[in-house]
Amino acid sequence: MTTAATDIKGVLGSRISDEDLAKLLAIDNPDMHTFVLDGARLCEPDEVRVFDDSDEGLADTRRTAIGKREEAKLALDGHTIHYDGPNDQGRDREVTRYLVPEDDALSKALNQIERETGLNEVRGIMKGSMKGKIMIVRFLSLGPTGSVFSIPCVECTDSWYVSHSLNLLYRCGYEQFKRNPPDTEFFAILHSAGVLNERMVSADVPNRRIYIDYTRNTVYSVNTQYAGNTVGLKKLALRLTIRKADREDWLCEHMFLAGIHGAGGRKTYFAGAFPSACGKTSTAMLPGETILGDDIAYFRAIDGECRAVNAESGIFGIIQNVKEKDDPAIWEVLNKPGEVIFSNVLTKDGKPYWLGMGVETPASGVTWVGDWYAGMKGEDGKDVPLAHKNARYTVQLKALANCDPELDNPDGVVLQGILYGGRDPRGYVPCQQSFDWDHGIVAYGASLETETTFATIGQEGVPEINLMSIQDFVAISLGKYVQNNLNFGKKLREPPLIFGVNYFLCNLRTGEFLNGVRDKHVWVKWMEKRVHGEIGARRGPTGWLPKYEDLVPLFKQVLGKDYAEPDYVAQFTIRVPENIAKMDRVAEFHRQHVPNAPAVVQEILAQQRERLVQLRDEHGDYVSPLRLPVESA
C-alpha cells in the first residue's frame, strides 16, 4: 500500500471497502484525503461510501434515499417526496455564521462568530453524529467541468436525500478531481442530519448549526435537512466562491441566466438578481425563452466580453404558485414521469399538491407536519396550510423542454443585460434602465430593497436592503464587493445594460398589485430591444423608462392583450416622496453597514435624490411618465 492508502485504511479500517478505497486513492489530492479522514474521525460513521460519476452510483443514491425512508415514491415514475421538520423549512440566518479569525473582520451586517470558538462548538455538536449511519462521499463541480469557471467540490453527508439532490443540482466532478493537479483548491462540505425521529427528519433543532470556515474553504452543517442548509454547493459554497472570485478578479453573482429571443432569430443572454420569492425563477423560465440557470452565475471578463456560466445544472425551486398557464415549462416537468424531488408539499394517493397550483386540492393528506386535514390548527391557533409556503421541487435543468443548449459550454455565453429586482410595493416602477454601468450597480443593485419573505426563517413583510440580492452571502467587505462590481464594468468593451425591475408595485390607496403576473415577459422583451438599440425611452429621475407606444405592440405580441394608457400611467408614474425616502434609507444603510463603501455610491444616490427633488419642484409629488422627456439612451 502507498502511504496515503495505509493512512486511510488505518483510520477507516473495515468501514471502507477496497473498491471505495481505490476510488478515494485515484484522486491525488492530500488535502482532500485529510478532509475525508477528519470527517470520519469526527462523525464516527459505521461505513464510508465513495461515489464516482457512474450512472450506477447515481441510481444507487436515489434507491437508498427511498429505502432509508428519507424519500418516498409518488405515483408518477421517478417522482419522490421528502419532508423536512416543521422547524426546518428555510435558510436559518440565526445559526448560519461565518467563522472569523481574531485578526480578520467582516461587515457587521453579517452573522459571525470567532473562528476557534465556532469550530469548537460545531465540531463538538458533530462529534459522533454519524454513528449507526453511512458517510457518503461525493465529488462535484461548480460550473461546467474542464473550464476556467470550474470549482471542484467534495461533500461528505449522512443524508441520502442530500446526496440524491446533488445528483440533480450539480455536475458530477469525480473524473475532474482525478485530472486535477494535487494542489488544486477545492470546496469541502461536512454535513450530518444528526439524530432522526420516526418521520426521518432532524430531531435536534436547538443544536442546528451551519458554520462557514472561509479560511479553509470548508462548511459544517448539522441537525438540519432543508436543502438550503445542507446542499453545501448551493448558498453555502456561494459564500466561499465570492471570496475566491475576489482573489481572482471575477464575479460570483446570485443571478439567473436566460436566453431571450428577438428579431431575426437572435438570442440575447440576460442575468438577474432577485431575493427568494421575488420572481427570479419565473423570469428565468419565461415561456418561449430558454433557461440557462435560475440561481447562481459566474462572470468573467474574457477578451473584453462578459462571459457567464451557471454554477449549477439543476433547479431547487419554490413551488408555490406554479400554475399550468403561468409556468408551462415547470408545470410540464412536474406532471410527467422523470426524476423530480418534491419537498414539503401535500401528498394524497401518490400525487403532490402545493399552494396556488390552480387546481382543486384534497381536504386531507400527508404534509410537512404529518397527517393533515383542512381547518387543522397549529400551536399558534392559525390554520395549517396544506403545503409550506417554501415548499420546493428539485429537478435537472436538462429535464426542461426550454433548457438552453449552452448549459455546459465551458466558455460560457456572452452576457448583454442584467436585471435587479425585489419586492418594492411603494417605490420603483416595474422596469427601467440605468444611465450607465455605475448608476445601475449603485441605484438598482446596491439599492435593492425588498420585503422579507417565507424563504428565510423569521418575520415576513419587513422592508430591508438586500444589496445585490447577495448580502447574506458576502464573506468579504460589502464595500469591496460593490467596488468589485464597479471595477468589472471597466474591463469590458461593451458592459451589459443594467435594468431595475419591480413586479410588486402596488396602488398606494388599495394595496392592489399594478403588474399582472405575466407582465414581466413584456418588460424583458422591452429590455431585449433596448440592448439592440431598437427603441427609445423616456428619461426619468431614476433611469430610462419605456415609452407607451413601444409597450402597446409588445403587450399584444407577447400576451395577446391590449395595453391601456391609464395602466401605463399608473405603473410608471414617478412617486417622488416614496423614491426620496427610498434613497434616504439606502444612503443610511450604506453609511451604517457598508464599511469602506466606494465614494461613488453616495455620489450616485445624492445625484438621484437631487433629480427627484428637481422633478417634484417642477411637477409635484406624483409625476405621470407622459410628462417626462423622450430621448434615446
Catalytic residue ranges: 278
What is the phi-psi region of residue 386: left when phi exceeds 0, alpha when psi lies from -120 to 50, beta otherwise? alpha
- DSSP three-state, residue 601: helix
CA distances (Å), origin 379, targets 86, 268, 617: 11, 50, 53
- Asked if 43 and 135 count as a contact pair (C-beta separation under 8 A), the reply is yes
How far, in Å, CA of 615 to CA of 621, rounded?
A: 8
Mark residue 279 as left, alpha or beta (left: phi above 0; alpha: psi -120 to 50; beta: remaining). left
The CB-side HSE value for 88 (13 A sphere, CA atoms) comes to 30
One-letter amino acid for residue 497 of the chain: L
- Cell numbers placing 532: 439592440
Tell me the three state secondary structure of residue 69.
coil
Cβ atoms of 124 and 42 within 8 Å: the answer is no
The enclosing H or E element of 191 equals strand 187-192
Q: Are 626 and 549 in contact (CB under 8 A)?
A: no
Tell which residue, 393, 383, 395, 409, has the closest CA to residue 357.
Answer: 393
29/34 Cα distance (integer angstroms) = 9
Nearest to 449 by CA among 473, 471, 431, 423: 423
Phi, psi of 265 (to 5 degrees): 80, 10
Q: Which residues contact 36 (CB under 8 A, 6 or more apart)?
A: 8, 24, 48, 137, 154, 156
Q: Is 513 exposed, middle or buried (0-12, 13-18, 19+ CB in 10 A)?
A: middle
| Residue 260: φ, ψ to 5° | -105, 125
Amino acid at 23: K
d(CA 626, CA 611): 17
Degrees, nearest 5: CA angle 178-180-186:
100
- Block residue for cell numbers 390548527: 377
Residue with cell 471542484: 152
The count of other CB atoms within 10 Å of the CB of residue 116 is 11
Tell me the C-alpha distance between 394 and 334, whole Å. 10
Q: What whole-number distance in Å separates Cα of residue 501 and Cα of residue 294? A: 17
State CA 575 to chain mean position distance.
Answer: 30
Nearest CA to 372 out of 393, 354, 390 is that of 354
